[in-house]
Amino acid sequence: MSVIDAVRAPGNTVARSTGDLVRRRFGGRSAARIYAAVLLTLGVAAIHFAAAAGHLAEYLPYGIFFIGLGLAQVGLAVATVVAPSRRLFIGAAIATTGVIALWVVSRITGLPVARDPWRPEIPGMMDMSATLLEIITVVLFGLLIPTPRKPKARGRTRIALTALPAVPLTLLAGWMAVGAVLHPMAAAFSAAPAVAGQATTSVADLVAAPGNEPLRAFTLTAGVVNIGGRQAWAFNGTVPGPELRVTQGDRVRVTLVNRLPDSTSIHWHGIRLPNAEDGVSGVTQNAVRPGSSYVYEFIAGDVGTYWYHTHQDTLYQLPLGLYGPLVVMPRAGIAEHRDYMLTAHWSPDGTILVNGSRSLHLDATPGETVRLRIVNAVNEGLFGGNPIRPVLLGARYRVVALDGHDLNGPQEIGPERIQLGMGQRADLAFTMPPSGAVELAGLAGSSRVVIGDGPMPAAVKVDSLRVFDLTAYGEPAPDPVADAGSFDVTRDLELAGAPAFYNGTYDFSDTFSGYTSPNVPPITVREGQLVRLRIHNTTADKYHPIHIHGHVFTVLAKNGHPLTGSPVHVDAILAAPHETWDVAFKADNPGIWMLHCHVLGHAYAGMSMTINYEGISTPYTMGTDSGNVAE
Ligand code: C2O
Ligand code: CU
């Protein structure tokens, strides 16, 4: 008997190779499972090393944890090849299950030890892939635990072929890991850095000029409160925050007091104000630290319905409750007898509320005129960005303003659904009928608002009602921007998205012409220029309300057809799937201004950029080093 034969002899305890050992002790099928588990474990380790790279800058203990985890997994892979044993398989299955459990907890409730304790992380493609591979390895290790009755011998080729499906998965994980490391989150990124040797004005100096306008002072204290048994982050303890109502021409001074565990800011959505007061963390200010306060001051120039909200870590903070309505009244008052603010928003249990309640009753008597100011603060989350489509039943009505800006000659319409993307507003006006109530319906779920008393309007199938068309409503009127005919700056913005490497991860992205924030080239303008944007939504299923800071869009055309009714001025244009909108604005407010999709998940996933005035720079930075996160 040769040496080789001796080694190969059945019952021999000296194995020539792991393959032999495994085949004899666990059977041929097990060898394939072992190799597959080893490959997948290495793939997961690669993703954990990539995660470590991102976390090292952000929160050192996590960086160390992920390096340790990756090393442990490499160790497990080696041990599985060198010394496979039933005990090792049991340990591997248990440990990997523990890692999966930790991931689940970190995504649902958050972990107690973290940079932000008990803050759930948003699941992404990369961590979900790692978890999927881990689940497969747990199954594989689990299958290796029971002793097979009669080990089935199998040839090497058969074993290799059975383990083969693990190869592409492992390569995919490795590719993701390498790509993520090569596209890190910027440590410090300036939207408009000062350039040495070039004189620039800092955004910090773009404040309201002193004057003796009537002063309206408010304090908004951001804090953690309990609303209906759930934790909310709120201004002055309520969600939505208090209604700020001022008169055109007032000097508005708001002191933000931060009693949150995290930094925050306030953005005055839709208001044209000096750049330094715009409230964008990392662009126009540093986020206000816990325990600190910050004063915003501006002159309320435009009448209308606006709102305010946090612009720090917005995807996380805003849905917790940091927003509220803001109204600028004309000096002469408004024509209607009744004036109600209706802020639509998500409740933590996933229904739409209006002013914090599911069903609201508003007073009005027959013959009275009523104005409803509807604000869409419903964040539709990471996915479609679907708008809300409220409709008024029981009275004909006029759409008197969009995004706070009056429409010219608005005529009465029947029950048409008013489509509002996240952040948009509409003012509706109507006269109470001689008898019966009026209902604002069409909000998701059972939420509704009833105005007046008496019998309710007849129920209708809301979904079949016409959607209001802002391109053909009201009376035409001259408009300096719409009538300009030529523009100094033009930019096409294609709204799209695909899985991509960005900000230290591989995930779905939402893009402006293929770019994700912070790499979208800014729109550079000079004061006095007319700027036209062509916004083309090429997605099949996403709604993108594209919002501009510090300026107002004049809507020029939809799908190439110019408007036929009233001029329309908005601070966000809702681009539905496959729609193209032409909008324009006059560059009349120097600064560095955000332009982004107002679906918070889309802005977070890359659909955010800035409009940069020549000669203006910002001393603030975004990125992991700064503590400023605009989206
Ligand atoms: Cu209401 Cu930059 O947003
Ligand atoms: Cu969007």
Partners of 431 in the β-ladder: 369
Residue ranges of the chain with per-residue pLDDT less than 70: 1-19, 21, 23-25, 27-29, 147-153, 381-383, 445
- The hierarchical CATH code for the domain 478-614 is 2.60.40.420
- Given this model, what pLDDT does residue 536 score? 98
> Is 172 within 8 Å of 126 (Cβ atoms)?
no
Rounded distance, CA 134 to CA 79, Å?
Answer: 17
Rounded distance, CA 534 to CA 557, Å?
Answer: 9
- Given this model, what pLDDT does residue 158 score? 82
* DSSP string covering 351-391: -EEETTBSEEEE---TT-EEEEEEEE----TTS--PPB--E
CATH architecture of the region 210-333: Sandwich (2.60)
Do 336-468 and 478-614 show the same overall fold? yes
- Count Cα atoms within 13 angstroms, Cβ side, for 32: 18
Task: Verify whether ligand 1 is closer than 6 Å to residue 551 (CB atom).
Answer: no
The pTM of the full predicted model, rounded to 2 decimals, is: 0.92
* DSSP string covering 70-128: HHHHHHHHHHHHHS--HHHHHHHHHHHHHHHHHHHHHHHT--SSSSSTT-PPPP-HHHH
What is the distance between the terminal CA atoms of the chain, rounded to a whole angstrom? 73
- Given this model, what pLDDT does residue 195 score? 83
- Given this model, what pLDDT does residue 151 score? 59
- Determine the number of helices (DSSP H) and then strands (DSSP E) in the chain: 10, 34
- Prior bond to 518 cis, omega within 30? yes
Tokens of 428: 């509706």
Q: Which ligand 1 atom is at minimum distance from the Cα of 603?
A: 2
Rounded distance, CA 36 to CA 97, Å?
Answer: 17
The number of the ligand nearest the C-alpha atom of 545 reads 2
How many angstroms from the chain centroid is the CA of residue 64?
29
Task: Verify whether ligand 1 is closer than 6 Å to residue 269 (CB atom).
Answer: yes
CATH 3.40.50.970 fits 336-468, yes or no: no
In the three-class reduction of DSSP (H, G, I as helix; E, B as strand; rest coil), residue 630 is classed as coil
Burial 452-462 (b: 16+ CB within 10 A, else e): beeeebeeeee
Task: Verify whether ligand 1 is closer than 6 Å to residue 596 (CB atom).
Answer: yes
Rounded distance, CA 162 to CA 155, Å?
Answer: 11
Task: Verify whether ligand 1 is closer than 6 Å to residue 598 (CB atom).
Answer: yes
- Ligand 1 centroid vs 262 CA: distance in angstroms? 19
- Ligand 1 centroid vs 425 CA: distance in angstroms? 13
- Ligand 1 centroid vs 548 CA: distance in angstroms? 8
Q: Which ligand 1 atom is at minimum distance from the Cα of 269?
A: 1
Q: Where are the domains of the chain?
A: 12-182, 210-333, 336-468, 478-614
* DSSP string covering 469-500: -GGG-S-----TTTT----SEEEEEEEE--EE
Write the residue with the smallest CA distance to atom 1 of ligand 1.
269
